[in-house]
Structure 1
């Protein structure tokens, strides 16, 4: 059997409903020959909790479904385990809380071909359930990726792995490109794409390759998003520190920017909280991202990934 042209990869951990929605949305892709596709589901639970669902999905799918159980926790471990089993020349990543419309994959592939891109990114549209009222606009924005808007073409920056298409031949390691040092804090995709960017990789934006994102209910609170925004803020500074040799000037620059951002937006957020402004959550988000740029290492690192299930 010839190798597929595109391997669709969905990492998952104890989120069966979301996995089922994401996987079935790949089955409905239009404008792409299903004989050129495969789906790789990588289960990052300690026990193979998604195995039975993967078998059900395989019976429905118009192309092969490969199930991978990666018990060693960590988002980089999960992605690398899937990459090791994937056979495609291109890798399309979809998260297990995302749902792709029928034209998603065709749009990614079309932009890749038009611009000879090594990585193509698409927009993400956050979707909160009807019952979420408090901070709804902010929460849907937080889980969205507006990116470069409606402008298609090459870009000089990069986004996260969810809703992306990678040309395998351009990766520094075609089987395990994601660094395990980011297993617990995330940002393994930023680290990969940052290294590729430094070496001249071509990135493109595909405005028509959008997906829905449906966050699990316990993430639709400021108690989740604000610490996450703090960790996002740490990204630019920690990336400079992780370079070889470390970019100390870059570290200092981002820390100074962070102090200013935290001070200005922190004060504004306080005023908005007093008057109950609907913009309060947006401003608080900007303030804590600035704080993250300044408090970026050591005990301030927040672990979102790679944690084992409670026993």
Structure 2
């Protein structure tokens, strides 16, 4: 190991939201608690270097590295962070989240035990004052990686640890074509899995997320469900023949109808599962949009 060797690179793409400071501060505590060498790489994707200016307002952090992306394309920003990273392990977290001191250690425990190339943790959403009561009750924005070690359902950079080799040996990068719509993380990890990479669920690597008030409405949550389904559908049918696309469309239609019917039943008896099923319906509508070639909503 050389003097400049780094064990962990904690990667954060940001446009300078005020929550970035808390993210960086908590990431530094987790890095120190790991007992290993680490760096925090912030990719500033704002047009006016807002993230860099925000970080300049606090005392210098020796482990901090700032790279300027300025593309308003989340894929390009994350790729810039990956290229700048020197760590053997790349940890991803969003700039509206904060992590506990044992965050990296929790991921490493699962990764070392399983031999996985990437591990995915859970996220507890925190809703602001003024958020609708139904949103707090149903809590649809908290994230659970999967029901068992190898059954990872949510492939996201909001809380994950990835071996450096997954990017540099497999040649994987985030797709810039998805950099304004989102879904670039699920796309990349789906490609990693398809190339033989092992993905594991690490729910004990739990972090917290501050939900902005502008996200606390049914329209935004529905649109995100549509986008998730649509970007998934675009991956699945990219090279598919007409008959397979038709089958994909019809199965998505059936699942949409079934999800809506079941959601009504659950909501009638006061079960929050009903809201989750409405979002499942939204994702299946998104899959149908992919078959129809409709435009994907832009978020960045």
Q: Please, what TM-score do these two structures have when normalized by structure 1? A: 0.84
In the superposition, relative to structure 1, how do residues 267 and 109 fare at CA in structure 2: closer, same or farther (>3 Å)?
closer
* 1: CA distance, partners of 2:233 / 2:265: 28
- Does the C-alpha gap of structure 1 residues 51 and 138 become closer, same or farther in structure 2, counting only changes over 3 Å? same
Structure 1: tracts of 5 or more residues without a match = 306-311
Report if aligned partners of 1:80, 1:176 keep a CA contact under 8 Å in 2.
Answer: no
1:7–1:92: 8 Å Cα contact kept in structure 2?
yes
Matched, 1:261 2:255: yes
* Distance apart, 1:133 and its partner CA: 3.6
Backbone CA RMSD of aligned residues? 2.7
Per the alignment, residue 188 of structure 2 pairs with 192
Residue aligning to 1:42: 43
Inter-partner Cα distance in structure 2 for 1:52 and 1:189: 27
Looking at structure 1, the residues matched to 43 and 185 of structure 2 have their Cα atoms a distance apart, in angstroms, of: 16
1:91: which partner in 2?
A: 90
On the 8 A contact 2:152/2:201 being kept in 1, the answer is no
Q: Say whether 1:298 aligns with 2:293.
A: yes
Contact 1:126 1:213 in 2 (8 A): yes
Q: Distance in 2 between matches of 1:235 and 1:251?
A: 15
Of 234, 237, 240 in structure 2, the residue corresponding to residue 238 of structure 1 is: 234
2:205 paired with 1:209: yes
Is the partner of 1:213 in helix, strand or coil?
Answer: strand
Q: Residues of 2 paired with 1:249 and 1:190: CA distance? A: 25
**Contact map agreement 1:121 1:164 (CA 8 A) in 2:** yes
Counterpart for residue 12 of structure 2: 10
CA contact (8 A) 1:135 1:281 kept: no
CA displacement, residues 208-259 of structure 1 (integer Å, 9 cap, x when unaligned) = 10111111110011121011111112233211123xx447665444322221
Distance 2:160 2:141 in 1: 16
How has the CA–CA distance of structure 1 residues 289 and 176 changed in structure 2, closer, same or farther, with 3 Å as cutoff? closer
Distance 2:138 2:216 in 1: 6
Q: Provide the residue aligned with 1:308 in structure 2.
A: none
Ranges in structure 2 where 5+ consecutive residues have no aligned partner: none
Q: 1:222 to 1:110 in 2, by over 3 A?
A: same
Question: 2:54 matched to 1:53?
Answer: yes
Would you say the 8 A contact 2:44–2:66 is kept in 1? Answer: yes
Indicate the residue corresponding to 1:285 in structure 2.
279
| Number of residue-to-residue matches in the alignment | 295
Please give the per-residue CA displacement for 1:19-73, whole angstroms capped at 9, x wherever unaligned: 1111111122264125x100001111111011122234561x3x51011121112
Please name the residue that 1:105 is paired with: 104
Which secondary structure does the structure 1 equivalent of 2:224 belong to?
A: helix
